[in-house]
Amino acid sequence: MSATGMTLDSGLTVQRDTVARALRRTTRIGFAMLALLLVYLTYTWFAFDVPALIKSAKPEQAALLATDAVAHKVHVTRLLRRGTTSIAIEGERTATYETPPDWVAVDGEKLTIDMEDGYTVTMRATSLTLDVPDYGLIRVSVQDGRVITELPPGRKPDWLRATSAKFDARPDLSRRVQVSRAKMEVHRYFAGWENFFFPFRSPLSVLTAGELLDLALSDEELEPGTANWLLILDTFWTNPDWQHGNVFVALLETLLMAVLGTFTAVFVALPLAFLAARNFTPSGPVRFFVRRLFDFVRGIDMLIWSLIFIRSFGLGPLTGALAIAFTDTGTLGKLFSEALENIDRRQVEGVNATGASKLQSYRFGVIPQILPIFISQGFYYLESNTRSATVIGALGAGGIGLMLVETIKTSRDWENTLYIIILTVLMVIVMDALSTRLRRRFTGDR
């Protein structure tokens, strides 16, 4: 081997050693970071008290909510003191059946309720029997103000609770039987949202889509003085169970907050951004002042702005719009001023060389360069503010956020909550798609 070959070889070895050492170092750093991460996550595991949460979590509660959100139940209720029986959707008086549905057979005081899958309930004056497949017949009666339960022999199933005050059987998620001293109540679940389009009492609720279309086109007015299609629309819009009209107004309120807030922020931030950019404002103190102003309004955060504005302007979309506008003026102002500092001087100088006035040099030298950033950031924030507006709404500013908080708090009908959630998410997805589209259009990148 020649002398040059040996130096080359040893040089390579040295280099390989350096590379290997550097690699080992980055691997070590990588593992150290991972270990730190694990330590931190372990710490928060206990700081958040996850073990206690797991212990107290109720997965069956979530399953109940999920069932309730996509199904509705029909109550068959017998009040023992008055001896009256009613069959109503969700137990609501406005949705009571006048003639019993075909799964309830009435024979004087005796009611035979077909609960499907082999389950049958037979209700008498003060007692009922529940026939459970693969288990047997459960007899429940109310005597002298006490609930008496007779179970078939064998182990008591865990879906059943029976005391002298209350009997509650829930063999699965789609049926439930309760007996107390005052009443006997049977719930049977059906898939789907009830009376989504028209209220139970409305004559429209029994029509099919084709019949509705015929009705809308016919001249024979169902309610004299109102066109049929208007009546159909109005009945849908004012449906008391679903409140389509109110939900729509709330969505609009949220959108209004987002649009007004974003636009205001964009138009206030633009002129201020010139004052914060080094190449447009030579005065140091002015720059410093405007930049700190941006930091200030951004740092205060939407939460605090909302709380302050709620105090002075009350609840409503104006409050939300102003909170968004204030926070985003800071964020957008900072972004715009950075964009202004990075513009290409040559275009401005070229315009100046033609003898343009100061205003003209801004208009033709500067604005065309920052307009794409300006528009694209504006739309980006419009989308993100649609989401923020739902949260601000929940703080009390109104709109769909507040409506959501209220329906969850009352937690009566989870299908209403699901409906609002679906509409909100759809609204955000539509705004997202729209803003991406418009951004691409205006900035010309495809």
Element (H, E) at 384: helix 367-392
Closer residue to another protein (CB): 311 or 346: 311
- Tell whether residue 307 is a contact of another protein (CB under 8 A): yes
**Which pair of tokens denotes residue 340?**
């202004």
- Tell whether residue 22 is a contact of another protein (CB under 8 A): no
Residues 55-74 that bind another protein (CB under 8 A): 56-58, 61-62, 65
Neighbouring-strand partners of residue 96: 88
User: Which listed residue (222, 318, 356, 434) binds another protein by CB under 8 A?
Assistant: 318
Least separation, in Å, of the C-beta of 384 and another protein? 9
Please identify, among the stretches 86-94, 114-122, 214-222, 416-424, the one whose residues bind another protein according to the rule CB under 8 A: 416-424
Please identify, among the stretches 117-125, 178-186, 224-232, 306-314, the one whose residues bind another protein according to the rule CB under 8 A: 306-314
Q: Which amino acid, one-letter code, is at 427?
A: M
Least separation, in Å, of the C-beta of 348 and another protein? 20
- Tell whether residue 49 is a contact of another protein (CB under 8 A): yes
Closer residue to another protein (CB): 79 or 422: 422
Least separation, in Å, of the C-beta of 260 and another protein? 5
> Total residues contacting another protein (rule CB under 8 A)?
61
- Tell whether residue 21 is a contact of another protein (CB under 8 A): no
Closer residue to another protein (CB): 40 or 159: 40
Please identify, among the stretches 48-56, 123-131, 188-196, 212-220, the one whose residues bind another protein according to the rule CB under 8 A: 48-56
- Tell whether residue 369 is a contact of another protein (CB under 8 A): no
- Tell whether residue 354 is a contact of another protein (CB under 8 A): no
3-state secondary structure (DSSP) of residue 438: helix
Residue with tokens 């005065």: 283
Site map (CB under 8 A) of another protein, residues 280-299, x = contact: ---------------x--xx
Residue with tokens 């159909």: 232
- Tell whether residue 41 is a contact of another protein (CB under 8 A): yes
3-state secondary structure (DSSP) of residue 226: coil
**In 10 A of CB 146, how many CB atoms?**
11
Q: CA 445 to CA 424: how far, in whole Å?
A: 29
- Output the CA torsion 300→301→304→306 (10° steps): 130
**Which pair of tokens denotes residue 238?**
């004012």
Residue with tokens 């609960």: 115
Distances (CA, A) of 39 to 28, 34, 378: 16, 9, 40
- Tell whether residue 29 is a contact of another protein (CB under 8 A): no
Instruction: Enumerate residues 6+ apart whose C-beta is below 8 A from 187.
Output: 73, 74, 75, 175, 176, 177, 178
Please identify, among the stretches 91-99, 214-222, 225-233, 402-410, the one whose residues bind another protein according to the rule CB under 8 A: 402-410
User: Which listed residue (115, 260, 332, 335) binds another protein by CB under 8 A?
Assistant: 260
User: Which listed residue (2, 4, 208, 312) binds another protein by CB under 8 A?
Assistant: 312
Helices (H), 119-226: 209-217
Distances (CA, A) of 108 to 6, 83, 374: 111, 12, 76
Least separation, in Å, of the C-beta of 50 and another protein? 7
Closer residue to another protein (CB): 40 or 248: 40
User: Which listed residue (48, 237, 248, 288) binds another protein by CB under 8 A?
Assistant: 48
Q: CA 405 to CA 417: how far, in whole Å?
A: 9
Helices (H), 277-357: 284-313, 317-341, 345-353
- Tell whether residue 370 is a contact of another protein (CB under 8 A): no
- Tell whether residue 351 is a contact of another protein (CB under 8 A): no
Residue with tokens 């309120």: 253
Instruction: Enumerate residues 6+ apart whose C-beta is below 8 A from 405.
Output: 394
User: Which listed residue (80, 275, 373, 405) binds another protein by CB under 8 A?
Assistant: 405
Q: CA 340 to CA 280: how far, in whole Å?
A: 8
**In 10 A of CB 73, how many CB atoms?**
18
- Asked if residues 399 and 306 have their Cβ atoms less than 8 Å apart, the reply is no
- Tell whether residue 263 is a contact of another protein (CB under 8 A): yes
- Tell whether residue 186 is a contact of another protein (CB under 8 A): no
Neighbouring-strand partners of residue 161: 168
Closer residue to another protein (CB): 68 or 185: 68
Site residues (vs another protein, CB under 8 A):
37, 40-41, 44, 47-50, 53, 56-58, 61-62, 65, 253, 256-257, 259-260, 263-264, 295, 298-304, 307-309, 311-319, 321, 387, 390-391, 394-395, 398, 401, 404-405, 408, 411, 417, 421, 424-425, 428-429, 432
